[in-house]
Amino acid sequence: GRYPNGMPTVQFEVEGHSEIYDPRDSTYKYTDNAALVIANYLSTTKKWGLGADYSTKINAANLIEAANICDETVAVAAGGTEKRYTINTTILDTETPIDVLQQFRKAIGGHIVYQSGQWFIYPAKWRAPSITLTESDVLSEIRVTTRQSRANLFNAVKGSFIDAGKDFTVTDYPAVKNATYAAEDGRESSI
């Protein structure tokens, strides 16, 4: 036959969608920037997109902030750096939009939100609070309770955290008990 040693192995290097709009420099180009990929999906009118009007349904200021967050470089445990959030995937025409958006949301560790008639993309990153509360924000009088019922008292504290050293599993902190308070309470504990 045509292939005496068997069928050759065929490999492809795929670069993906090459016409993704970047509002930061008003260009269309290939990018794996997660925020820009998400905005492209939201606005694409082809079979697999949502068809949102890019100029009115995707919040431009939010998209620019999100794209900048995704492009930040972060250190990796193995050494070196990489971009904070990228999306490199294939979307099948059998996937529903909610499934695709859930995958994208997981890729940015944050949220993709439709509010007030526009899409907002919030990649996970600490953001400084943007509001200061004052006395004028209090809706009613302030009440102080000075004595708690015995059922509401405690003399020990416990908690849990997500441990990166154990594959991000929920792990309990050791309970912290105050022996003096426990003795005063007759050795009762709410843990």
pLDDT in tens, 10-23: 776 655 567 899 99
Closest CA to 55 of 126, 98, 119, 139: 119
Provide the token pair at 68.
Answer: 């900048």
pLDDT tens column, 24-71: 999 999 999 999 999 999 998 776 778 899 999 999 999 999 999 999
Say whether pLDDT at 142 is over 70.
yes
What pLDDT, on a 0 to 100 scale, did the predictor assign at position 102? 95
Provide the token pair at 77.
Answer: 């445990």
HSE-up (13 A, CA, CB side) for residue 97 = 15
* 191 pLDDT tier (thresholds 50, 70, 90): very low
Chain-wide mean pLDDT for the chain? 85
The one-character DSSP state at 79 is S
What pLDDT, on a 0 to 100 scale, did the predictor assign at position 190? 47
Provide the token pair at 163.
Answer: 């441990």
Q: Taking residues 160-188, what's their average pLDDT?
A: 77
CB 69 within 8 A of CB 84: yes
d(CA 74, CA 83): 6
Q: Taking residues 110-124, what's their average pLDDT?
A: 96
Say whether pLDDT at 173 is over 70.
yes
